[in-house]
Structure 1
Amino acid sequence: MNPIALNRRSFLGGLSLSVGTPALHGLMAAEGSQALPHFPPKAKRVIYLMQSGGPSHVDLFDYKETLKKMEGEELPESILGGLRQTTMTAGQKSKPCLGAAWPGRQRGESGMWVSDLLPHTAEIVDDLCFVRSVHGEQINHAPAMTHMLTGHNLPGRPSIGAWLSYGLGSMAEDLPSFVVMTSQDKEGSCGQQFFDYYWGSGFLPGKYQGVPFRGSGDPVLYLSNPNGVSRAARREMLDGLAEMNHFAHQRYADPAIETRVAQYEMAFQMQASVPELTDFSDEPQSVLEMYGPDVQRKGSYAYNCLMARRLAQRGTRYIQLLHAGWDQHGNLPGQLPIQCKDTDQASAALVKDLKAHGMLEDTLVIWGGEFGRTPFVQGDINNPTAHGRDHHPRAFTVWMAGGGVQPGKIHGSSDEFGFHVAEDPVHVRDLQATLLHLCGIDHERFTYRHQGLDFKLTGVEPARVVNEILS
């Protein structure tokens, strides 16, 4: 036998002829290069509700009386401090303060201020943990999204879901461990483009990348067999491919061959599991109504939220929803209500639904964007349809629920203008370290060797677990 084949991966490949492709896939899914988790996890799964574009923290969650009192007056230069700004406002001579355009009030026992634009979120504030001191460095969408979802501002690193799939393996035999769904506001007015590296595997094996579920047609491309091809014929073809891949792997010891075998088998399993997953006929009418009128519209945010709960129930470990539409530069008064209406009810319903199913305790839900919006106005403050807010990474709000975080908790604060972090700063890296910790992973010890270096999700800069928000 070729000596190069005498290793663990080739041994598993050789088993394909005796234990069958499904068993091989199970072994490969469970295979991990490190002993994980490092300690008992509080979260078995994660649902990340990524609000792409940058929700306005000063309009939705972080009300500032100073901004309201000084509306129309120049933001003090001592606050701006010559900091880097986007090209959209760097040359704007006047930067007048802009207070929250909609009323809101303190809610629940926690007293968290929430805008009236988010009435459903307001109902569940005591189930949520609000972090009002998140900050980062990236001022443009793609680098900020990439940093938030992969730990680095440049493409090429594994995404959070890929890291978790690699480290913890799969909990389901017939569904991917990492699923991605995207949506956009109904108006299509201010959406951002989604790049596949937001859910990519980077330098990890390809089998750990996210699987996109589409909003129209088959949820996954080529899920249905071609006309005239039966399931039995497909099974026979896959077994033949597995045998050929076995011999190819013996010869070349290429891990990409194993990835192909795993993907073929997963696709075959999904042909049976996905139709049941996407059939909402078994959901009570009360649940459908809770998610809102868009829940039956495939590809909508509400539909994706209910799909997230169903995927979580069936063992998907990491579910990433991306909703585009929060980039309100020029028509904040007209566009922000659209995004809130699209996402508020379904986001709250997901938390309620998980709680009703007894799943919130071990499911971590995260809601937030790649940054917030500027406390000063972009454009003409006197023209409601021609002003908005620019990107703002120096202080913004993210909320979390379940999975080991304290409910009804408010952590951190921004200054009186909502511009800088005032207390208890939480960097993007700290959020990532905390997410891994809740899943039972020490972010310092969880590494992957690539090109002679030990890479980790949180990178080389300091990062800490935000213990203050843990239950």
Structure 2
Amino acid sequence: IALIRSMHTSHSNHYNATLGMHTGSFAFSRPSIGSWISYGLGAENRNLPSFVVIAPRQTYAGTQVYASDFLPAAHQGTLVVPGAEPIANVQPRVPVDRQRLELAALSAMNETHRADRAIDSELAARMRSFETAFGMQMAVPDAFDFSQESATTLASYALQPGQTAGFGWQCLAARRLIERGVRFVELIDTGSSGNWDAHGDMMTHVGLAKNVDQPIAALLQDLKQRGLLDETLVVWTTEFGRTPFNNSADAKGREHHPWAFSSWLAGAGVKQGIVHGATDEHGLRAAEKPVHVHDLHATILHLMGFDHERLTYRHAGRDYRLTDVHGQVVRELLA
């Protein structure tokens, strides 16, 4: 992996920092990074969404972390919630032949409706969503059928047979979706108490880290063994760090810290086994080779084959991009 020790961001509030990490904007709703990559790469598997988010519950910024905003609505993320039914209503309610007739009739009516109107990305996305949903009824049960996995594989992800939740489940689901052509999969670990926000007791991070340590290591190893890691970029990050000090002698927790935190990357095009940047001697600020969130985004897009300054979309009279007017590719991280 390539470890970045000098990450920093522009906001200390959960909502704004989470929004910024996902969209490049710390104040306004903008397309998420997954939507930008879906827009740039398109769909590889027409029976599955190109952008999937797997999370037990919503994050601080809510649905904005996977929204397409002004990009065509077909590029918004699809939420998968770990459990017995990760995606609701995936089982067909009528026989397949009858459903095909219903979809054909619905498509004909939608086309007639659209013909009398200007280009409407939301209508086009809704029409496409019916087609994708039909394909998902075939593809989703297979993608989330972990009975196809060996006992050894399940154990490597810290999973028991039949288990349908936990970060190990999210990681194994991600590998199975990547295998099936999903372009962008985001895993959100909200922690046992809903988040990692350790204001009360920093030691809660010990258990939270233990819950994710084995599964993410298993995912990297699994991708490598299957020959997928060289073409898959894995990014591990958070919205900001925690202060390197307690506010008082008897305080057990740590506060929000946007000036220094760590992230790591692995896989496609990433230089292996390096540490980039460093904080000052107190761990207070990114002092050596600082990497802003915009720089991380520029680097991710570069590794996905894009020039972050040219992947743009015209909206409200100007060309928008994920990095807005900021961002530099961190070339020291590139293989």
TM-score (norm. length: structure 1): 0.68
2:31 maps to which of 158, 164, 189: 158
Partner of 1:332: 202
- The question of whether the paired residues in 2 share the 8 Å contact of 1:130 and 1:411 is answered with yes
Partner of 2:46: 173
1:456 pairs with 2:321: yes
Provide the rounded CA distance (Å) in 1 between the counterparts of 2:270 and 2:32. Answer: 22
Give 1:285 shift.
1.4
Give 1:300 shift.
1.4
1:223 maps to which of 80, 85, 90: 90
1:149 pairs with 2:22: yes
Provide the rounded CA distance (Å) in 1 between the counterparts of 2:289 and 2:277. Answer: 5
Partner of 1:281: 147
Query: What one-letter code is carried by the residue in structure 2 that aligns with 1:206?
Result: A
Give 1:204 shift.
0.8
Give 1:299 shift.
3.2
Structure 1: gaps of 5 or more residues: 1-127, 185-190
Partner of 2:331: 467
2:222 maps to which of 353, 358, 364: 353
Partner of 1:202: 69
1:212 pairs with 2:105: no
Query: What one-letter code is carried by the residue in structure 2 that aligns with 1:389?
Result: R
Of structures 1 and 2, the larger Rg is shown by: 1
Query: What one-letter code is carried by the residue in structure 1 that aligns with 2:132?
Result: M
2:165 maps to which of 299, 304, 310: 299
Partner of 1:341: 210
| Secondary structure, aligned partner of 2:53 | strand
Provide the rounded CA distance (Å) in 1 between the counterparts of 2:300 and 2:161. Answer: 28
- The question of whether the paired residues in 1 share the 8 Å contact of 2:159 and 2:169 is answered with no
Query: What one-letter code is carried by the residue in structure 1 that aligns with 2:256?
Result: H
- The question of whether the paired residues in 2 share the 8 Å contact of 1:169 and 1:177 is answered with yes
1:446 pairs with 2:320: no
- The question of whether the paired residues in 2 share the 8 Å contact of 1:177 and 1:316 is answered with yes
| Secondary structure, aligned partner of 1:252 | coil
Give 1:181 shift.
0.6
Provide the rounded CA distance (Å) in 2 between the counterparts of 1:141 and 1:309. Answer: 29
Provide the rounded CA distance (Å) in 1 between the counterparts of 2:117 and 2:299. Answer: 40
CA 1:181 to 1:155, structure 2 compared with 1: closer, same or farther past 3 Å?
A: farther
Partner of 1:433: 298
Partner of 2:4: 131
- The question of whether the paired residues in 2 share the 8 Å contact of 1:159 and 1:199 is answered with yes
Provide the rounded CA distance (Å) in 2 between the counterparts of 1:321 and 1:293. Answer: 16
Identical-residue share of aligned pairs (%): 42
Provide the rounded CA distance (Å) in 1 between the counterparts of 2:184 and 2:285. Answer: 32
Give 1:222 shift.
2.2
How well do the aligned residues superpose, as a CA RMSD in angstroms? 1.6
* CA distances 1:227-249 after superposition (whole Å, capped 9, x unpaired): xx222211110010111111112
* CA distances 1:57-92 after superposition (whole Å, capped 9, x unpaired): xxxxxxxxxxxxxxxxxxxxxxxxxxxxxxxxxxxx
- The question of whether the paired residues in 2 share the 8 Å contact of 1:296 and 1:303 is answered with no
1:409 pairs with 2:257: no
Give 1:225 shift.
2.7
1:362 pairs with 2:227: no
- The question of whether the paired residues in 1 share the 8 Å contact of 2:16 and 2:61 is answered with no
Give 1:254 shift.
3.7
TM-score (norm. length: structure 2): 0.95
Q: Which runs of structure 2 are paired with 1:31-180 in the superposition (5 Å)?
A: 128-180=1-53
Give 1:219 shift.
2.0
Partner of 1:397: 262
CA 1:419 to 1:160, structure 2 compared with 1: closer, same or farther past 3 Å?
A: same
Provide the rounded CA distance (Å) in 2 between the counterparts of 1:449 and 1:220. Answer: 33
Provide the rounded CA distance (Å) in 1 between the counterparts of 2:28 and 2:184. Answer: 20
Provide the rounded CA distance (Å) in 2 between the counterparts of 1:397 and 1:446. Answer: 27
Partner of 1:236: 101
* CA distances 1:104-127 after superposition (whole Å, capped 9, x unpaired): xxxxxxxxxxxxxxxxxxxxxxxx
CA 1:158 to 1:192, structure 2 compared with 1: closer, same or farther past 3 Å?
A: closer
Query: What one-letter code is carried by the residue in structure 1 that aligns with 2:199?
Result: H
Give 1:296 shift.
4.6
Partner of 2:246: 377
CA 1:142 to 1:295, structure 2 compared with 1: closer, same or farther past 3 Å?
A: farther
* CA distances 1:160-207 after superposition (whole Å, capped 9, x unpaired): 0101111110111211100001137xxxxxx95450010000111111
Partner of 2:110: 245
